[in-house]
């Protein structure tokens, strides 16, 4: 985002009171008149997570958060009116352009016919909102079979957390108690006394 109040003082002052164009330091063009301001989103900085075939939930969360912050949810939740004013259409193009910039290269060819942010959003949701069942089963299998082995406790727990994060990214919730069981099930024999002590606790143990 390139807010107007951050534009360099060295730029020339506009001479037209009703319309002016500024070049922001990020090279994003912002057009301003008395009633409307177009916002250019820098996808690389504000939405760095690129959509792949396996991370739609995380990508969706990223964009819903960003669009909510700028009060732009109407661009993805409602199809544009056929009588939409020019500034609305131009803003829609800027949002759609930023979204496309946050897609992985293999996905972009499938959205090139989507001419509005709304259609683009619906296309991606329909295609990726439900992850492949095989992907979910593979992640769950990784969690069920992980062993500490010769890993340090830190590395072992980091690997479990990484798997749980991937599972959450495909929309599957795993409770803290379930994660705890996977942790102790992967302990080697010499950790049996520690595992027994942890199981005997009266209160739940958080991952942290």
pLDDT of residue 139: 84
> Across the chain, what does the average pLDDT equal?
80
SS3 103: strand
Mean pLDDT over 172-179 rounds to: 84
Inter-residue contact 187 to 194 (CB < 8 Å): yes
Of 3-17, 42-56, 107-121, the one with minimum mean pLDDT is: 3-17
Mean pLDDT over 169-184 rounds to: 83
pLDDT digits (tens, 9 = 90+) for 36-73: 689 999 999 999 999 988 888 889 999 999 999 999 99
Q: Which of 174, 171, 142 is nearest to 159 (CA)?
A: 142
In the predicted structure, residue 108 carries a pLDDT above the cut 90: yes
pLDDT digits (tens, 9 = 90+) for 130-166: 766 777 788 889 898 999 999 998 999 999 988 888 7
Mean pLDDT over 196-200 rounds to: 83
pLDDT digits (tens, 9 = 90+) for 180-197: 888 988 999 888 888 888
* 9-34: burial string, b at 16+ Cβ within 10 Å, e else: eeeeeeeeeeeeebebeeebebbeee
Written in H, E and C, the secondary structure of 33-71 is ECCCECCCCCHHHHCCCCECCCCHHHHHHHHHHHHHHCC
pLDDT of residue 2: 46
Going from N- to C-terminal start, the domains of the chain cover 4-128, 133-199
CA 199, distance to chain mean position in Å, is 36
pLDDT of residue 66: 96
DSSP letter for each residue of 186-203: T--GGGHHHHHHHHT-SS
Q: Which residue has the tokens 């606790």?
A: 201
Cα distance between residue 136 and residue 142, in whole Å: 10
pLDDT of residue 34: 43
Cα distance between residue 13 and residue 128, in whole Å: 47
Inter-residue contact 25 to 83 (CB < 8 Å): no
Inter-residue contact 174 to 167 (CB < 8 Å): yes
């Amino acid at each position: 985002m390139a807010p107007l109040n951050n534009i360099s003082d060295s730029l020339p002052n506009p001479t037209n009171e009703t319309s002016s164009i500024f070049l922001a330091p990020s090279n994003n063009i912002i057009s301003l008149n008395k009633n409307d301001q177009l916002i250019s989103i820098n996808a690389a900085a504000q939405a760095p997570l690129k959509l792949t075939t396996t991370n739609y939930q995380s990508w969706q969360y990223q964009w819903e958060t960003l669009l909510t912050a700028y009060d732009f949810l109407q661009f993805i939740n409602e199809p544009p009116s056929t009588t939409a004013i020019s500034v609305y259409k131009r803003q829609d193009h800027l949002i759609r352009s930023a979204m496309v910039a946050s897609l992985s290269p293999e996905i972009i060819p499938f959205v090139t016919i989507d001419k509005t942010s709304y259609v683009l959003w619906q296309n991606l949701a329909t295609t990726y909102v439900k992850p492949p069942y095989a992907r979910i089963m593979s992640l769950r299998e990784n969690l069920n079979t992980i062993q500490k082995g010769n890993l340090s406790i830190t590395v072992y727990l980091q690997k479990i957390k990484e798997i749980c994060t991937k599972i959450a990214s495909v929309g599957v919730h795993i409770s803290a108690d379930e994660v705890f069981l996977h942790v102790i099930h992967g302990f080697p024999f010499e950790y049996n006394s520690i595992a027994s002590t942890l199981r005997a606790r009266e209160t739940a143990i958080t991952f942290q």
